[in-house]
A = this chain, B = another copy of it.
Amino acid sequence: MTRYQHLACLLSERIEQGLYRSGERLPSVRTLSLEHGVSISTVQQAYHLLEEKQLIVPQPRSGYFVAPRKAAPPMPALTRPVQRPVEVTQWGSVLDLLSSRISGDVLQLGSGIPNLAQPTLKPLWKIQSRMAQKQDANLLSYDSLLGVAALREQIARLAIDSGCQLTPDDIVITTGCHEALSASLRAVCEPGDIIAVESPSFHGTMQTLRGLGIRAIEIPTDSVSGISLEALELAFEQWPIKAVLVVPNCNNPLGFIMPEPRKRALLALVQRFDAAIIEDDVYGELAWDYPRPITIKSLDMDGRVLLCSSFSKTLAPGLRVGWVAPGRYYDRVLHMKYINTGSTATLPQHAVADFIRQGHYLPHLRRMRQLYQRNYETFSCWVRHYFPCGICVSRPQGGFLMWIELPEAFDAVRLNNELRESQIQVAVGSLFSASGKYRNCLRLNYGLPVNPQTEQAIAKLGAAVERAMLACHAAVKTETILPE
């Protein structure tokens, strides 16, 4: 990105954030030049660029003004999924996504992998190395089925930040959040049962529903306030829903944090219909604001919330260390965890416990939150710069995932096929729906390193999106002309 492009990005960011409102006059060229320490011509180029993008309009002798409607790419509207329980499909596409995950040369713009190149992770390596040097045979053996006690203690301590009063005995360690979720689902449901989910919803969970023969009813979800309680209530009235599965904090993929009153209302609603809540909090510690948002579990008085989480997004997914606080479903979850994998690997549990106990975890979290927040700004600049108009972009409040909605006729699956040549892949929106909706959406990971390679990939992606959108328009036109 050149200097003037960067300035243009900054300005459009400010416009989006409402610092410059629609119709407002922008600072003069000279003011900006002084403010940013750049030449007059750089500012002029930046303003020209924004003008080209129809974000600002020049008015003779008065300077530049924010364009009336083009100020910010809007956020995705409330989703409108199918209003009945369906069996989950899309396994083939998920497999595609996963298969390309490590074919080395492919840049995964859509993965759910955190940034793993931070110095605050170094103590984790040191701890593991020291453990290996000690050659303690206990670390090679099974530990408790519940998980290493020292780790459960640390998790209980950390849970206080989310408003939860947990004891180590309330917690079962799992092989990643994945196992926490699958054991919870199995604990609560039988095959054929119905689960309500946010729409869009994490593809891993969706595939677990599919594998367990559980049907999903997708509930309209707002990219600011989360699952629609009104729609959920209607669904409860119509269908025998066993549980609601939500990611209320730094939602995957929409990035919202459900406001606390809505969390309370959701719990009350679920209580009224005597169902369970499976709460996936795996991104909760990555919320940008401090203190971190509370979990629904923290409001739960009768043990109907199964809180699932892991260190996969905050530390490292390769450790496969997750956990669940299953409330009243404790016994069944423990049984399901046992039949899945037996005990969880021993050494990584001790490593994570020591990492937290030695005080490395909170500083690491702080660093990651700041990194992701900064990255988000850069990535959204890039998206605005390289993507065509007419898109909606989510505004996450934490985590490292961004959801982009393209016009209805757009096909992200076809886009991914085209991108294969350029060694780029995104996460296709249809993975996030039981019924293959959201083919016009895609998920980006802005936790990726901010460097020319990533920028180039976003540029290529933007160009491909633009080409595809033009092709769409052409096709739509042809269709409207041809039929009669």
Chain A interface (Cβ within 8 Å of chain B)? 91, 94-95, 98-99, 101-102, 113, 116-117, 121-122, 124-126, 128-129, 132-133, 135, 137, 139-145, 175-176, 178-179, 182, 186, 190-191, 204, 207-208, 210-213, 315-320, 334-336, 338-348
Contact = CB atoms under 8 A, between A and B. Distances in A.
Contacts of A334: 95
A125 B116 contact: no
Residue among A135, A316, A342 facing the most chain B CB atoms (10 A cut-off): A342
A238 to B, nearest CB: 26
Contacts of A121: 140
A18 to B, nearest CB: 37
B345 A320 contact: yes
B135 A318 contact: no
A150 to B, nearest CB: 12
Contacts of A129: 129, 132-133
Contacts of A207: 335, 338-339
Nearest to A100: B144
Interface of A is mostly: helix
B141 A320 contact: no
Given A99-B145, A342-B204, A116 B137 contact: yes
Contacts of A316: 140-141
Nearest to A318: B346
Nearest to A128: B132
A142 B317 contact: yes
Given A211-B186, A336-B211, A140 B341 contact: no
Contacts of A204: 338-339, 342
Given A132-B125, A176-B341, A341-B175, A347 B335 contact: no
A361 to B, nearest CB: 15
Given A140-B318, A145-B99, A340 B340 contact: yes
Question: Considering the complex of A and B, which 10 residue pairs feature the smallest CB-CB distances, nearest first?
Answer: A140-B316, A129-B132, A318-B346, A211-B339, A128-B132, A178-B342, A320-B345, A116-B137, A208-B339, A175-B341
Given A137-B117, A142-B101, A319 B339 contact: no
A340 B186 contact: no
A343 B97 CA distance: 13
Nearest to A180: B341
Contacts of A126: 132
A456 to B, nearest CB: 21
13 contacts: A95-B145, A101-B142, A102-B143, A113-B142, A116-B140, A122-B135, A125-B132, A129-B129, A175-B320, A178-B341, A212-B339, A320-B342, A347-B348
B341 A144 contact: no
B317 A344 contact: no
B346 A98 contact: no
A341 B343 contact: no
A116 B102 contact: no
A157 B317 CA distance: 29
A242 to B, nearest CB: 16
Given A145-B99, A341-B176, A345-B348, A125 B117 contact: no
Contacts of A94: 338
Given A94-B338, A101-B145, 16 more contacts: A95-B338, A99-B145, A101-B142, A101-B144, A102-B143, A125-B132, A129-B133, A139-B318, A140-B315, A140-B316, A175-B341, A176-B341, A182-B340, A204-B338, A204-B339, A318-B345
